[in-house]
Amino acid sequence: MNSILVTGGAGYIGSHIIEDLIRTKSKIFIFDNLSTGYKRLINKKAVFIKGDIKNYAQLLKIVKKFKIDSIIHLAACLNIREAEKNKKKYYQNNVSGTLNVVKCCKNASVKNIVFSSSCSIYGNTYGAVDERKKANPVGYYAYTKYEGEKIIKKFEKKFKYNFAILRYFNIAGASKSKKIGEINSSHGHLFKNIAIQSLNKEPLINIYGKDYKTKDGTCVRDYMHVSDLSSAHIKALNFINNKSKSITLNCGYGKGYSVLEIVKIFKKINKKLKINFAKRRVGDASSVFADTKKFNKTLKLKMKYNSIKKILLSSIKWEKVIGKKFEGISRNS
């Protein structure tokens, strides 16, 4: 692979993938409209192009100009609650935008595409879920990610590319470099919110829903450190490139933790923490965690951060960095 384009490469997950990719011999390009990403997170060793995946002509021009042979497609709208209120926006970005990326694969002879999908396509599950489970998206965001998957699969043979669909479970934490991490907290991510509250004198955590059919009534999730997820992208890209074979994989650690369990782990770190139970959020599934047998067998990835405490501590360390370096910055600065 000579040239790799990462759509959404200025975002939280994208910036971690770029940090790993620049250690390879490939030329790395970032295509991002900075709607959720930040220019300050962009690694200077990568080439940045400000652009939007909804603009097919612009995207194709860039893919051809830099002779891109592989695309890691992350660019998407992500807010579950916003998706229910603005379905047109989410369809245009997550579905139509993905179709534009796929059309570029055809018209610019791109060989590989890694697609960022979501465990939300499974809907409500009980116990570990593997990749063979029939999709049952809960909420409009999940629907758009599933439609994106279908587009990727539909054109694989016709457009002659290999794909890796990576179904993220819950991603958290920050790079040990302390240069990149999650800035935007609007999505209600648990670890991000805990990290923010850790800096307050009287920390308060909202738990959305306490009447789910789980062991303690709160949602159960499989949490994965963003740096391990980043490594999974590199491994998956190498796999499909070397094997000329497409794959669909769950990305998680294979263990479910309830929201209340996570909060109690944090409470051991900060005993002042107070808990507030709020109403359920629309689109939240009750219990989702990964069966990772296929992931482990295929990628043989050695996890470095498979610990809730490690994820929490890296999130808190990053939040301290944000307070000093990122407060009040614009996305374009």
- Those residues whose C-beta lies under 8 Å from the C-beta of residue 293, and which sit 6 or more positions away, are 130
Helix ranges (H only) for 123-258 are: 140-154, 156-159, 190-198, 226-243
- Those residues whose C-beta lies under 8 Å from the C-beta of residue 242, and which sit 6 or more positions away, are none
- Those residues whose C-beta lies under 8 Å from the C-beta of residue 320, and which sit 6 or more positions away, are 199
Catalytic residue among 122, 141, 161, 253: 141
Decide if 141 is catalytic: yes
Cα separation, 288 vs 214, whole angstroms: 11
Token couple for 28: 């790395």
Cα separation, 199 vs 320, whole angstroms: 8
CA–centroid distance for 63 within its chain: 23
Token couple for 325: 């370096």
Cα separation, 41 vs 333, whole angstroms: 10
Q: 15 in the Ramachandran plot: left (φ > 0), alpha (ψ -120 to 50) or beta?
A: alpha
- Estimate the crossing angle of helix 12-21 against helix 226-243, to 10 degrees: 60
Residues with catalytic function: 141
